[in-house]
Amino acid sequence: MSNVTTHSFTNCNAQAVALAERVAAQLREAIAARGHAVIAVSGGSTPRDFFARLSREALDWAQVTITLVDERWVPDTDTRSNAKLVETTLLQNAARAARFVPLYTGAPTPEAGLAEADARIAALPVPFDVVVLGMGEDGHTASFFPGGDHLAAALDPQGTAKVLPMQAPGAGEPRITLTLPVLLDTRALYLLVSGEKKRDLLADVRLGLAEAKNYPVRAVVRQDRVPLAVYWCP
C-alpha cells in the first residue's frame, strides 16, 4: 500500500489555495484539541503563494508556532534567508500574531549555532502538527542535499540529532537542517512542488528506479512513518 497521495492542480494558484485551506483546517483542529499548533515550513521560491494565502486564514494564530525545516546560514536581512521569506510572506495579516522560532542564531557558522538551534527545536511540543517540505530538481528536500557532508546522519531513521549542519556542492551557502526523524514526527506531512521535472523525479522515486537512489527526497517518499501528501502544479 502506498503511503503517498498526489494532488495535482491545473494551476499553481489553485494549489496554493487548496494547501492553505487544508493546513489551516489542521492548525484549527490542533488548537481545538491541544490548545496550540506547531508547523515547520520550507524556504525556496515555491511556497510564496501558499504562505500569502495561509497568512490570511482565520484561526487563533497566537496559539501557533512556526519554525523552519531548514535554513541557509545567512543573516535574516539577506534575500537568501528563509526566515526573511517567512517574515515577509507568512508572518503577515492574521498570521502576524504567530510565534516564529528561527534556526539562524547569528553565530558565525551552523556548527557554532548548532546547540542553540537544537535547544530551540527541542523546546517545541512533538509531534509537530504540520510539516511542509519542498524539493529541488537535484532531489534534495529540506537541506538533505546529494553529497551533503552530514547527509547520512541527517537521514538516519534511528538518529538522535534534531538539527545538523549541512554543506554540499549544490547548496550554495552552509545550511542547517532538521533531521529526518524530526520531520517525520508530524501529524501531517506535505511536499509542495511544481514543474514536470519534479513530477517525473518523484515518479522515479516512487517506482524505486535505480537512478532515483541518490535523490535524498526518497527518504520522505519511501517511508511508512507518516502519510505524505504531494501537492503538484505545472
Beta-strand (E) ranges in the chain? 4-8, 37-41, 64-68, 70-72, 99-101, 128-133, 163-166, 175-178, 186-194, 228-233
Does 49 engage in binding with ligand 6PG (CB under 6 A)? Answer: no
Rg (CA), the chain: 16
Q: What is the spatial distance between Cα 180 and Cα 142, in angstroms, rounded to a whole number?
A: 9
Least Å distance between CB 168 and ligand 6PG? 11
Least Å distance between CB 137 and ligand 6PG? 7
Least Å distance between CB 82 and ligand 6PG? 5
Q: What is the spatial distance between Cα 137 and Cα 139, in angstroms, rounded to a whole number?
A: 5
User: Which residues from 52-71 bind ligand 6PG, rule CB under 6 A?
Assistant: 69-70
Phi-psi region for residue 50, left (φ > 0), alpha (ψ -120 to 50) or beta? alpha
Contacts for 98 with CB less than 8 Å, ≥ 6 apart: 61, 62, 64, 65, 66, 90, 91
Q: What is the spatial distance between Cα 86 and Cα 159, in angstroms, rounded to a whole number?
A: 28
Does 179 engage in binding with ligand 6PG (CB under 6 A)? Answer: no
Among 102, 113, 134, 216, which residue sits at the site for ligand 6PG (rule: CB under 6 A)?
134
Q: What is the spatial distance between Cα 154 and Cα 202, in angstroms, rounded to a whole number?
A: 20
Does 142 engage in binding with ligand 6PG (CB under 6 A)? Answer: yes
Does 42 engage in binding with ligand 6PG (CB under 6 A)? Answer: yes
Least Å distance between CB 198 and ligand 6PG? 8
Among 3, 6, 7, 44, which residue sits at the site for ligand 6PG (rule: CB under 6 A)?
44
Q: Which stretch binds ligand 6PG (CB under 6 A): 4-12, 32-40, 92-100, 137-145?
A: 137-145
Contacts for 51 with CB less than 8 Å, ≥ 6 apart: 41, 85, 86, 89, 90
Does 135 engage in binding with ligand 6PG (CB under 6 A)? Answer: yes
Least Å distance between CB 79 and ligand 6PG? 12
Least Å distance between CB 223 and ligand 6PG? 17
Interface mask toward ligand 6PG for 68-107; x: CB under 6 A: -xx-x---------x-------------------------
Cα 63 versus chain centre, distance = 20
Q: Which stretch binds ligand 6PG (CB under 6 A): 4-12, 31-39, 139-147, 204-212?
A: 139-147
Which of 202, 157, 148 has its CA nearest to residue 179?
157
- Cβ-contact 224, 189 below 8 angstroms: no
Least Å distance between CB 74 and ligand 6PG? 11
Which residues contact ligand 6PG (rule: CB under 6 A)? 42-46, 69-70, 72, 82, 134-136, 140-142
